[in-house]
A and B are shown apart, each in its own frame.
Chain A
Amino acid sequence: MTLVYQIAVIFLLLNIGAGLIRILRGPTPADRLLAVQLFGTTGTAILILLSMEADNDAYKNVALAFALLSGILGVAFARYGQAPRPTSTPAKEG
């Protein structure tokens, strides 16, 4: 049974590795933020699987921290991290 968890964890880690390509290539900052969201969700899933694999419920607390974190990062980035474009109205920000 642990083998199933480990295979799933390896698969999800490879997913994260593929998401790195989007961080590198992403033409706009929003695309890079999307890749970070992918890291957050996949990382949460990896942590739940690891907690099942090691039979340790404390790992689920870290998954909780991840879930909270990716949301906060997304809001911070969407609010403050946008590249300035001449067409947008920057007066609304801040």
Chain B
Amino acid sequence: MNLILTVDVILVVIMLVTAWLALTARDLQRAVILFIALGLLVSLAWVRLQAPDVAMAEAAVGAGLTGALLISTLNSMRELQKKKTSEVTPPADASPTPQEANHA
């Protein structure tokens, strides 16, 4: 009796669910976290495909580096937005000018 096929099937199902959730997430932060989780799972899949080198590259680059960069990008985006709203809100909160709408 060999259960290795079951391992693969469960891994594939969890991977597909995570990928689908990451694609359809409304909240950007949730999408980034799900992307990191997906990177870890893909790395496990590479190990199951007997490619540990690729798995190591995927874990370091796909999940670690890209994840950290996305988190940092999210942070700077949020600060930009905060600055923008604090500049915009005092005059009037009704209909921003077309220029500002473009920037937002």
Contact = CB atoms under 8 A, between A and B. Distances in A.
A2 B83 CA distance: 58
Interface residues of A, number: 42
Contacts of B18: 20
Query: Interface of chain B, helix or strand or loop or mixed?
Result: helix
Interface of B: 1-4, 6-7, 10-11, 14, 17-18, 21, 29-30, 33-34, 36-37, 40-41, 43-44, 47-48, 50, 52, 55-56, 59-60, 63-64, 67-68, 71-72, 74-75, 78, 82
14 contacts: A6-B2, A17-B10, A20-B14, A33-B33, A47-B44, A62-B47, A65-B59, A66-B59, A73-B36, A73-B67, A76-B68, A80-B72, A80-B75, A84-B78
